[in-house]
Amino acid sequence: MDSLLPWHAAAWQEFVDQRERLPHAMLFHGQAGTGKVGFARYLGRSLLCQTPAPAGFPCGQCASCAWIAAGNHPDFMLIRPEAVQLAEGSAAEEESAESAGSGGARDAREAGDAVASEGEGARTRRAPSKEIRIEQIRALGGALNLGSHAGGRRVAVLYPADAMNVYTANALLKMLEEPPPRTVFLLVTDAPDRLLPTIVSRCRRVALGTPSAETALAWLRAQGVLHPEAGLAEYGGAPFAVLRAAKAEADTEPARAALFGVLAKPDVGASLAAAERLAKTDAGLVVGWIQRWMHDCLGYNLARRIRYYPSQTDTIARLAASLDVMRCMAYSRTLVAENRVVDHPLNGRLFVENLLLGYCRAMQRG
């Protein structure tokens, strides 16, 4: 569930001051990975809450808050591409498995149902859409024409607003030009310049800021990211991008540990077993891990320098002591070549097997 982020406090205060005379459409923009969608959804919850706190926070207790938490408030509409919805569903599923909440599970189930019924309807399975489809905007229009469920406000949160083709955007524009009563549109984008100018001109633009490094680091630590500094530099100060990357890394940690086991003791039998285990791991990740490992082995051999895996210093030093530089450099070059074609190896197990057998040959003594 979204909450107010510390770096959005000023924008929030502005909203609280104008709560009763908000425009019917707002466009939130700012750097990617800084939590803008969460802000818009939180604002939507607040607008629908029956007993908001003095600071404008949704109470979390009233019927409206409960409906939204359960994912079935009829006047709280989320318009986003199917691919985004699916990603949210799987994230929510994980969250609810951890916290035993029910809202996420419901979202995930709905997303799953959507995929299943489409699979039945369509002859060929297509990838989930990365765009907001015109049917979604038409459905929104239909729902808004029916009038609100509770006779009160209605909120449509639409993101990313740049994920609309010109027809879809024009369908939305019609609604923004003749807004249904008591309806608030909250649009979110990283790239307002990619929206139709006519859409932008119908919205009040609200810039949502990026946190200071200090704020972002504190927030990331509170989310359980142990060493957020490097990530924050890598992702240009966008805390949600760092959080996503840290989670992905934690998910792949067992695979990486299995790989490092073989890299530490090159052996044909162990390579075959590890390839079996790593067959489903993203091939690009596997190549990247081996590339960095080789970089460290060669770096240690040539200059006693370890860049990527200082925690493996003892192992790398042992391997580096007896490696054949020319053979290892040749192997590193094949990794670069593999990295170019890595997108979808036909057979993941064979792909990793080849990588590891090549490593065994490169690391042979003498």
The pair phi, psi for residue 291, each rounded to 5°, is: -60, -45
CB 255 within 8 A of CB 277: yes
Report the distance separating Cα 58 and Cα 39, nearest Å.
Answer: 12
CB 213 within 8 A of CB 229: no
Instruction: Select the span of 64-72, 223-231, 259-267, 328-336 touching Zn ion (CB under 5 A).
Output: 64-72
CB of 227 to Zn ion, least distance (A): 38
Instruction: Select the span of 51-59, 122-130, 146-154, 242-250 touching Zn ion (CB under 5 A).
Output: 51-59
Tell the burial category of 67 from Cβ atoms under 10 Å away from its Cβ (0-12, 13-18, 19+): middle
Nearer CB in complex with Zn ion: 69/238: 69
Nearer CB in complex with Zn ion: 59/173: 59
Size of the site for Zn ion (CB under 5 A): 5
One-letter amino acid identity for 36? Answer: K
CB of 282 to Zn ion, least distance (A): 41
Report the distance separating Cα 207 and Cα 307, nearest Å.
Answer: 38
Nearer CB in complex with Zn ion: 65/290: 65
Nearer CB in complex with Zn ion: 65/186: 65
CB of 73 to Zn ion, least distance (A): 11
| Strand ranges of the sheet holding 154-158, from the earlier edge strand across to the other edge | 76-79, 154-158, 183-189, 25-29, 204-207
CB of 332 to Zn ion, least distance (A): 58
Nearer CB in complex with Zn ion: 58/103: 58
Q: Does 155 bind Zn ion (CB under 5 A)?
A: no
Instruction: Select the span of 52-60, 175-183, 286-294, 351-359 touching Zn ion (CB under 5 A).
Output: 52-60
Q: Of 38, 98, 129, 36, which is closest to residue 247 (Cα–Cα)? A: 98
CB of 23 to Zn ion, least distance (A): 23
Report the distance separating Cα 194 and Cα 184, nearest Å.
Answer: 22
Instruction: Select the span of 50-58, 100-108, 203-211, 278-286 touching Zn ion (CB under 5 A).
Output: 50-58
Nearer CB in complex with Zn ion: 64/301: 64
Nearer CB in complex with Zn ion: 69/92: 69
Q: Does 62 bind Zn ion (CB under 5 A)?
A: yes
Q: Of 251, 290, 258, 287, which is closest to residue 274 (Cα–Cα)? A: 258
Q: What ranges in the chain are assigned the alpha helix state H?
A: 9-17, 36-48, 63-69, 82-99, 103-121, 134-145, 166-177, 197-202, 213-222, 228-234, 239-264, 268-278, 283-303, 313-321, 325-340, 348-363
Q: Does 49 bind Zn ion (CB under 5 A)?
A: yes
Q: Does 69 bind Zn ion (CB under 5 A)?
A: no
Instruction: Select the span of 62-70, 90-98, 231-239, 272-280 touching Zn ion (CB under 5 A).
Output: 62-70
Instruction: Select the span of 43-51, 180-188, 223-231, 232-240 touching Zn ion (CB under 5 A).
Output: 43-51
Task: Give the one residue of 37, 43, 47, 65 binding Zn ion; rule: CB under 5 A.
Answer: 65
Give strand pairing partners of 27.
187, 205
Task: Give the one residue of 16, 22, 32, 59 binding Zn ion; rule: CB under 5 A.
Answer: 59
Q: If DSSP codes are grouped into helix, strand and coil, which group holds residue 152?
A: coil
Positions that interact with Zn ion (CB under 5 A): 49, 58-59, 62, 65
